[in-house]
Amino acid sequence: MIISMENFAKKYCIITYGCQMNLHESEKLAGILQTLGYFNTDDETDADIVVFNTCCIRENAEKKAEGNIGALKKLKRDKKDMIIAVGGCMTQQKGYAEKLMKKFPFIDIVFGTHNLENFAELILERTESKKHIVKVDDKEGKIVEGTPKARSSFPNGWVNITYGCDNFCTYCIVPYVRGRERSRDPEEIIKECENLISLGYKEITLLGQNVNSYGRDLGNIDFATLLRRVSALKGDFRLCFMTNHPKDLTEDLVKAIAESDKTARTVHLPVQAGSDRILKLMNRHYTREEYLEKIALLRKYMPDVSITTDIMVGFPTETEEDFNDTMSLVKEVRFGGAFTFVYSPRSGTPAAKMAGQVPEDVSKERIIKLIDLQNGINREQSRAYIGKTISVLCEGYDDRKKKYLGRDTYGRMAYFAGKGLIGKFVNVNIKKAGGISLMGELLSVEEEKDF
């Protein structure tokens, strides 16, 4: 019988909501917990500490998190020593931590987005004092380097380059819960990327709420320069970045993307709406025409680039005409993919107080039309892949489909059979196309490139 240390050790379970940013922050929380001697489990009933890393960008993510926290009430009654901790954007909202403790008094620790780096101390404080801990600083501090990370996304490595946001789009809660934009020291970013490459990571994604404004607070570097420096690092890897803001996408940056063999040929450029009137109300700082100029700029230097986007419907006062402007923009640009959302009022944002909230049934009808339109574009683009052989980075294995999966440089997902392929670039011949994904046959594993 093999007796593993894990059978005796304390275990943690992290439940994450929201975006890549949050997934990467959960890797930091996991790193901190592993440093304290905890092992990972996906089963919260088996865990000694359960951490909810929450998101408040949309109402349903918030409701889901609260539902899941509430569901642990009985477990906590039976397992009194189990620690329940709640962090992330939700807790950073004004007055929310107190509300949460009132609603779920069995929570042990509430910590804000600016307190993630102190998580180890909070656990030790809770263990020693047995008191409930609420630590939510309302102001962002200096960037803390050196937080341990237990990465769970091999062969994709996430690297923060900025924190916070200065844009104040009127619907968005991020600037209020993540603070002002701060750029990380470029040397720290380079060091982290070099380390990932040396560990065999094959895709590096530079992360920030608006990576295009990287360096503005440092004064001596911009995002195009950083991108050139990372893509010049020696190693066989693909370089991605997200997310971008159309107002800050410069020609020099587009050139930096285009001139690199390592930078993915996909750019995520959130448009949000196709109507100038709505874009103004959203405080997006660009018009429809200016957005289309950015699309033309990207296509001038990279005619085959795949542009993906975020689109919101039902923003306050959105009329049928505004919505039709969004539809016509989608038809014109032909995005390689779109995250589509119904506007959800976030308390504390200017849009939540605007008159003219759009009725739910109208928003629902609009989103269905929009999804339908984008699905049709996705299908046509996917069909064009049939018969082609593409280079795919194998990222994982889908247990349900019993196939490996990975994406090409345009971000298109492909499934294929094989063995031991995770972390390898492979050539796949496409046989069938679904909506946004492809089915293919593995032809070969690529040789490591000597870049």
> Shortest Cβ distance from residue 80 to ligand SF4 (Å)?
39
Taking residues 324 to 363 in sequence order and writing x for each that binds ligand SF4 by CB under 6 A, - otherwise, the string is ----------------------------------------
- Between 286 and 425, CB nearer to ligand SF4: 286
Total of residues contacting ligand SF4 (CB under 6 A)? 10
Q: Which of 92, 209, 231, 275 lies at the binding interface for ligand SF4 (CB under 6 A)?
A: 209
Q: Does 175 bind ligand SF4 (CB under 6 A)?
A: yes
Nearer to ligand SF4, 281 or 302 (CB): 281
172: contact with ligand SF4 by CB under 6 A: yes
State which of residues 183, 210, 326, 382 lies at the interface with ligand SF4 (CB under 6 A): 210
Answer yes or no whether residue 165 interacts with ligand SF4 by CB under 6 A. yes
Nearer to ligand SF4, 205 or 210 (CB): 210
Residue closer to ligand SF4 by CB (options 91, 210) is: 210
Min dist CB 336 to ligand SF4, Å, is 20
Of the listed pieces 163-171, 252-260, 297-305, 387-395, which binds ligand SF4 according to CB under 6 A?
163-171
Among 20, 34, 41, 167, binds ligand SF4 (CB under 6 A): 167
User: What is the spatial distance between Cα 393 and Cα 20, in angstroms, rounded to a whole number?
Assistant: 19
Q: Which of 60, 99, 127, 168 binds ligand SF4 (CB under 6 A)?
A: 168
Closest separation between CB of residue 270 and ligand SF4, Å?
7
Please say which residue, 51 or 165, places its beta carbon nearer to ligand SF4.
Answer: 165
- For ligand SF4, which is the closer residue by CB, 210 or 409? 210
- The dihedral through the CA atoms of 317, 321, 322, 323 has a sign that is positive
How near is the Cβ of 355 to ligand SF4 at its closest, in Å? 21
The structure tokens listed for 342 are 């119904």
- Helices 186-198 and 223-231 meet at what angle, rounded to 10? 30
3-class DSSP string for the chain: CCCCHHHCCCEEEEEECCCHHHHHHHHHHHHHHHHCCCEECCCHHHCCEEEEEECCCCHHHHHHHHHHHHCCHHHHHHCCCCEEEEEEHHHHCCCHHHHHHHHCCCCCEEECHHHHHHHHHHHHHHHHHCCCEEECCCCCCCCCCCCCCCCCCCCEEEEECEECCCCCCCCCCHHHHHCCCEECCHHHHHHHHHHHHHCCCCEEEEECCCHHHCCCCCCCCCHHHHHHHHHCCCCCCEEEEECCCHHHCCHHHHHHHHHCCCECCEEECCCECCCHHHHHHCCCCCCHHHHHHHHHHHHHHCCCCEEEEEEEECCCCCCHHHHHHHHHHHHHHCCCEEEEEECCCCCCCHHHHCCCCCCHHHHHHHHHHHHHHHHHHHHHHHHCCCCCEEEEEEEEEECCCCEEEEECCCCCEEEECCCCCCCCEEEEEEEEECCCEEEEEEEEECCCCCC
Please report how close the Cβ of residue 67 comes to ligand SF4 at its closest, in angstroms: 25
260 binds ligand SF4, rule: CB under 6 A: no
User: Rounded to whole angstroms, how far apart are CA atoms 145 and 161?
Assistant: 12
Nearer to ligand SF4, 18 or 440 (CB): 18
Q: Which is nearer to ligand SF4, 212 or 382 (CB)?
A: 212
Residue 253 or 439: the one with the smaller Cβ distance to ligand SF4 is 253
Cβ 153 to ligand SF4, closest distance in Å?
22
Give which of 268, 263, 380, 278 is closest to 327, Cα–Cα. 278
Closer residue to ligand SF4, CB minimum distance, 350 or 396 = 350
Residue 245 sits in the site that holds ligand SF4 (CB under 6 A)? yes
Q: Does 152 bind ligand SF4 (CB under 6 A)?
A: no
CB of 297 to ligand SF4, least distance (A): 19
Q: Is 174 in the site for ligand SF4 (CB under 6 A)?
A: yes
Task: Choose one: 138-146, 170-178, 185-193, 252-260; the region binding ligand SF4 (CB under 6 A).
Answer: 170-178
With CA atoms as reference, report the closest residue to 215 among 251, 253, 246, 179: 253
- Residues at the site binding ligand SF4, with contacts judged by CB under 6 A: 165, 167-169, 172, 174-175, 209-210, 245
